[in-house]
Each structure stands twice: as structure tokens, then as C-alpha cells.
Amino acid sequence: MRLRYSDVTPRSQYLNRRRFLAGLLAAAPLARGAKLEAAKSPLSTDEPLTPYRDVTTYNNFYEFGTNKDQPARLAAKFRTSPWTVKVEGHVAKPREFDIDSLVKLAPLEERIYRLRCVEGWSMVIPWIGYSLAALIRQVEPTAKAKYVAFESYYDMGQMPQGRYAGIPLPYVEGLRLDEASHPLAILCFGLYGEMLPNQNGAPVRLVAPWKYGFKSIKSLAKIRFVEKQPPTTWMLSAPHEYGFYSNVNPEVDHPRWSQARERRIGEFFKRPTLKFNGYGDQVAGLYAGMDLRKNY
């Protein structure tokens, strides 16, 4: 039998140790690995969770390398404090939030969502956060605001792998304002009861579970309310392969591979992919009358 570190040191103990160290450093309440209290949510799925280890060691975060195991190693020293998120554009109350005030903006909820990657695999992850709508209400978008543009933090010094990513950085994404205001879309600060590990997009990321994972931008630095559809990184990189909406859709294939099925991490057989990743009841109305083949 092989021992892992987690077999030797119980999880509660190493979390304690981290909290102790965090206390020594008089760090912000959002120290890495710190616990986050969150209420249960009726929007959660009851499907079995993907193990913590898989969620935190199999990551697409190209700023820290294009191999899935790289972000867990190469983001270990990423500085997420101090951290600010600038909210600007067509809003009545533009504001720069520091992360500690942002996390307290609304009550935290645990949202257990399916995550479907455009590559054909999926997970079930207990995220912690609150609906992005809560932030949107605070800054009061004006009538001109039709879209929300998101931008990731990018620092070549801390993210030297970024230059090999093959995509333009900083990473940018976007949602229509009504998509961003949908209760399922969350600003996410944690997973599995603790602060987001760096490789999962610390200290704050977006999660929009009915869209392919790459829409759920990580390590958010800027949110801008705009009038026109903003550019997104994968559209800039390969416009014929990635569209603005990128809703999970088994009927519309990626030009290079089928999207009809997916491999749920931990399962042997592939399972059929559900339209809107199974969130159709909630979100299909956002796209009423739209040709989803054209608006992929």
C-alpha cells in the first residue's frame, strides 16, 4: 500500500496548521486553505462529488501551464493578497473592491454544480460563493450596459508559463447582462468548504455552470459593464471553434471533436452530455428564439 501525505496527516490537522500559520502572519481572513462558512442552496445538485484531489490537481489554467497537473504545482506561490477587483464601465457606482469586502458583499452559499469542460470531461464541484447578481445590483448598471466583460489577473513574473499558453493574455471573458444576472452565475471564492486553492482561480472567479468551463474565468481582476459584445480569449484565439455563448450543447460539436458525450471524472463509461449542462429548465429562456447552432 502506498501512503499519501493525506493518509499521514489528517485533513483537519493540516488545515489547523495552516490557520495557525495564517494567524502568525496576521494575514487577512482569506488565508489560503482557510475555512469558509456557507449555507446550503436549493440550486445544488445531489450528484456524487468529484474528489477534492481531482478537483485541485486536474486544472486548465494556462497562465500556470497548459498541462493539467501544472497549475497545482506552479500556482502554489501565487500571491492573492492583497487583491482588488475593479468594477467599472456603464454603472452608476463604479467601485474597486478589496477581496475582503467583496467576499462579505452577500451571504455565502454552497453551490454544488456540474462542470463540463469543452474538452469532453466533467466534474461535480461544491463551489462557495454568491450570485453575481448581488454585485451587479450594488454597482447599478446604467441603460447602456448590455454586456459584462471580465478580465483575469496576469503577471508574467508570477505566471512565466503564460507566454507559452498559445492564447492571448490576460484572459478575458464575457456574458450578456441578463446571463450575468442569472441566479446560477456566481462569484466564487471557495470550494469544498475552504478558500479557493490558487490553481482553481483564487481568490475569486466566475462560475457559470451551463456553459463550458472556459467561460468561468479565474482570478478575476476586472469587471466592466459595456454596450457591445466584448471579446473573449478563445474567440480571439480560434474564432471558428469558440463562440461567445459557449453554452454546453450536445447537438453542436466542437469542429474537432464531438460534444455529444462526456467522461465524468471517476467514471469508466462516457455519459450523454445534457443541453445547457442539465440547467435548461433554468436558463433556456435566456436564449428563446436564438439559433444555438449559429450562436454557439
> Which DSSP symbol is given to 165?
S
**Going by C-beta distance under 8 Å and a sequence separation of 6 or more, which residues neighbour residue 213?**
60, 115, 116, 117, 118
d(CA 145, CA 152): 20
Select the span of 80-88, 102-110, 163-171, 193-201 touching another protein (CB under 8 A).
163-171
User: Which is closer to another protein, CB of 2 or CB of 228?
Assistant: 2
| Strand 109-116 with 39-40, pairing | parallel
Q: Is 58 in the site for another protein (CB under 8 A)?
A: yes
CB of 41 to another protein, least distance (A): 26
Interface with another protein (CB under 8 A), residue from 15, 133, 134, 265: 265
**Quick one: 9 or 237, whose CB is closer to another protein?**
237
Query: What is the phi/psi pair of residue 190, to 5°?
Result: -160, 175
In the chain, the amino acid numbered 20 is F
Contact with another protein (CB under 8 A) among 14, 15, 34, 57? 57
- Out of 5, 12, 25, 269, point to the residue binding another protein (CB under 8 A): 269
CA angle 200, 206, 210 (to 5 degrees): 105
What is the smallest separation between the CB atom of 192 and another protein, expressed in angstroms? 15
Residue 171 interacts with another protein (CB under 8 A)? no
Query: How many other CB atoms sit within 10 Å of the CB of residue 179?
Result: 22
Minimal distance, residue 149 CB to another protein, in Å: 21
Q: How many CB atoms lie within 10 A of CB 273?
A: 19
Which of 19, 35, 68, 176 touches another protein (CB under 8 A)? 68
Using omega within 30 degrees of 0 as the cis cutoff, is the peptide bond preceding 230 cis?
no
User: Is residue 237 close enough to count as binding another protein by CB under 8 A?
Assistant: yes
- Separation of alpha carbons 165 and 12, rounded Å: 36
Q: Among 32, 41, 62, 90, which residue sits at the site for another protein (rule: CB under 8 A)?
A: 62
Give backbone dihedrals phi and psi of 213, rounded to 5 degrees, phi first.
Answer: -55, -30
Q: Name which position in 19, 52, 54, 81 contacts another protein (CB under 8 A).
A: 54
Q: Rule CB under 8 A: choose which of 86, 263, 280, 287 binds another protein.
A: 263
Size of the site for another protein (CB under 8 A): 25
> Residue 292 interacts with another protein (CB under 8 A)?
no
How far apart are alpha carbons 219 and 206 in whole angstroms? 9
DSSP per residue, 152-192? E---TTT-GGGGGSSS-SS-EEEEEHHHHTSTT-EEEEEET
Stretch of 12-20, 172-180, 185-193, 252-260 lying at the interface with another protein (CB under 8 A): 252-260
Q: What are phi and psi of 71, to 5 degrees?
A: -55, -40
Q: Which of residues 1-20 bind another protein (CB under 8 A)?
A: 2
Q: Which is nearer to another protein, 54 or 88 (CB)?
A: 54
- Contact between 258 and another protein per CB under 8 A: yes
Residues 6+ apart with CB under 8 A from 248: 116, 210, 211, 212, 259, 273, 274, 275, 276, 277
Binding site for another protein (CB under 8 A): 2, 53-54, 57-58, 62, 66, 68-69, 119, 121, 164-167, 237-238, 256-258, 263, 265, 268-270
